[in-house]
Structure 1
Amino acid sequence: MSTRSPKRDYDYLLKFLLVGDSDVGKQEILSGLDDGANDSPFGYGCGIDYKTTTILLDGKRVKLQLWDASGQGRFCTIFRSYSRGAQGILVVYDITNKWSFDGIDRWLKEVEEHAPGVPKILVGNRLHLAFKRQVSIPAAEQYAMKNDMAFFEVSPLCDFNITESFLELSRIALKRHGIDRFLKCNKVLSLQDLCSRVIVQYTHPHHIEKLPLPTSLRSRLRSFSNTSMCAHPMPSPYPSKRTKIIRPDSPSHASVRKSCCIS
């Protein structure tokens, strides 16, 4: 009598690391994600922040194991241990603290030493404090392009570009491992997937939330729209403050929100 393995609640599992100075708000980013496990599966808790969350990428469930081991006195030892098996790295700085941006070179050096070749994205945190900005968007874009990284500015406070940044890093990581082919139309799609692809071709991502659909269906549509090449550009109310994605291996998409407003 054979025993069946328990059914998984995800299609892909990815391990991501967050690196950056201790005061750039990495814990804010983790706290802003959907609730998941907060305890390390290996029993280590000292100096380690850990969380899991599940996102939808083109209709597939991607479970993320997120580790923040930087900003600690024992960073080198911790990072060497936790970087094994990492599939993606978020390099985080605070847009209101130029020192945190200037220190990215040091973090990238550690990353290349302990996790060479792992995909990275540059994340400027605390966009809701843009009136205190010390790091300009052009400077960050140029740095990201120079170091072959995608670039996002995010705000956990108003839930801006958090999910989008993890979706982009997941897309890059899956493509790096050759799994992206399973996200494409190489098999018979369900009727729901076919309808989702058609809808996102004619609906801007920002308008999906206004559709008279159940929350679960809107979430599924967002997962397709964030990876769709057919998104239509929407003019930003703040043309001088627009945030772009710099993709090292493909043209920029228009599926990422360009401004962050708090009412």
Structure 2
Amino acid sequence: MSGPKEYIFKVVVLGDGAVGKTSLVLQFTERKFNENYIMSIGANFAIKMINKPEENLAIRLQIWDLAGQKHFQFVRPSFYRGAFACIFVFDLTRRESYEHVKNWVEESEQYAPGVPRILLGNKVDLIEERVVSKTEGEALAQELRASYYETSAKEAKNVDICFDDLNNQLMDIHIWKKPYSK
């Protein structure tokens, strides 16, 4: 009997610096959270294997966490090449990061047009500091034709759920050949 059919999906994670992109990826791939902020230089790369034995599939998510600082803008285009999906992250405690999401979508459309999108409002655990409402996040997601989740990389809240949703969208499009219509 042959092994599972393997698929590789490249996913880019985008958003302003310090919104928690690296922390979300680390939580999803390694079940870790680092309290200390470490700025991404260019891009960070992680892999997560998702086995679906009931469907005889193995999915390899290549997750590219792109640096959000303006001065890394010139290196980002090459990291989009071959992307199957984009995850946009903003910080629920920093309105400007929410307001910049449309800029990230505009940039991504230049290099990875028409791919599935997930919008994440991160740091939901910082209840007292929150400045962006769930309603605002949902409205932006609807406008961008994206799924929306409020996450906490620190508490691992909704991290697996949002990546599972994205993986299922990618499987529908590329394995089961259902048209993308978000």
TM-score range, shorter chain: 0.7 to 0.9
Equivalent residue pairs, number: 169
Partner of 1:174 in structure 2?
Answer: 171
Code of the residue aligned with 1:156 in structure 2: it is A
Give how far 1:180 is off. 2.6
**Corresponding residue for residue 106 of structure 2:** 109
Greater relative contact order (Cα < 8 A, sep 6+): 2
Q: Which residue of 1 aligns with 2:30?
A: 35
- 2:85 paired with 1:88: yes
The DSSP-based 3-state class of the residue aligned with 1:165 is helix
Q: 1:15 aligns with which of 10, 35, 40?
A: 10
Question: How far 1:34 sits from its partner (Å)?
Answer: 3.3
Q: Residues 63-102 of structure 1: CA distance to partner in whole angstroms, max 9, x if unpaired? A: 1111112314454432211111100110000011111001
- 1:180 is aligned with what amino acid? W
In structure 2, give the amino acid aligned to 1:16. Answer: V
Q: State whether residues 49 and 68 of structure 1, in contact with CA within 8 Å, keep that contact through their aligned partners in structure 2.
A: yes
Long gaps (5+) in structure 2 = 32-39
| AA partner of residue 106 (structure 1) | N
Structure 2 counterpart SS, 1:156:
coil
Q: How big is the alpha-carbon RMSD for the aligned residues of Structure 1 and Structure 2?
A: 2.6
TM (normalized to structure 1)?
Answer: 0.58
Q: Partners of 2:3 and 2:159 in 1: how far apart?
A: 25
* Amino acid in the other structure paired with 2:18: D
Letter in 1 for 2:171: L
State the match for 2:37 in structure 1: none
Match for residue 140 of structure 2?
Answer: 143
TM-score by length of 2: 0.82
Per the alignment, do residues 121 and 74 of structure 1 end up closer, same or farther by CA in structure 2, a change over 3 Å counting?
Answer: same
- Separation (CA, whole Å) in 2 of partners of 1:98 and 1:91: 14
Between Structure 1 and Structure 2, which shows a larger proportion of strand residues?
Answer: 2
**Percent of aligned positions with the same letter in both sequences?**
29
Tell me the amino acid that sits aligned with residue 147 of structure 1: L
Larger radius of gyration: 1
Instruction: Determine the structure 2 residue equivalent to 1:99.
Output: 96
Corresponding position of 2:34: none
- Please give the residue correspondences for 1:202-221 in structure 2 after superposition, counting only pairs within 5 Å: none
Q: Closer, same or farther in 2 for the Cα pair 1:8/1:74, shift >3 Å?
A: farther
Deviation at residue 107 of structure 1 after TM alignment? 0.6
Does structure 2 conserve the Cα–Cα contact (< 8 Å) formed by 1:156 and 1:162?
yes
Corresponding position of 1:241: none
Q: Which residue of 2 aligns with 1:24?
A: 19
Give the 3 Å change call, closer, same or farther, for CA 176–77 of structure 1 in structure 2. Answer: farther
- Call closer, same or farther: CA 1:127–1:67 in 2, change over 3 Å: same
Aligned to 1:34, the other structure's residue is in SS state helix
Match of 1:222 in 2: none
Report the counterpart of residue 154 of structure 1 in structure 2.
151
Check the 8 A contact 1:69/1:78 in 2, yes or no. no
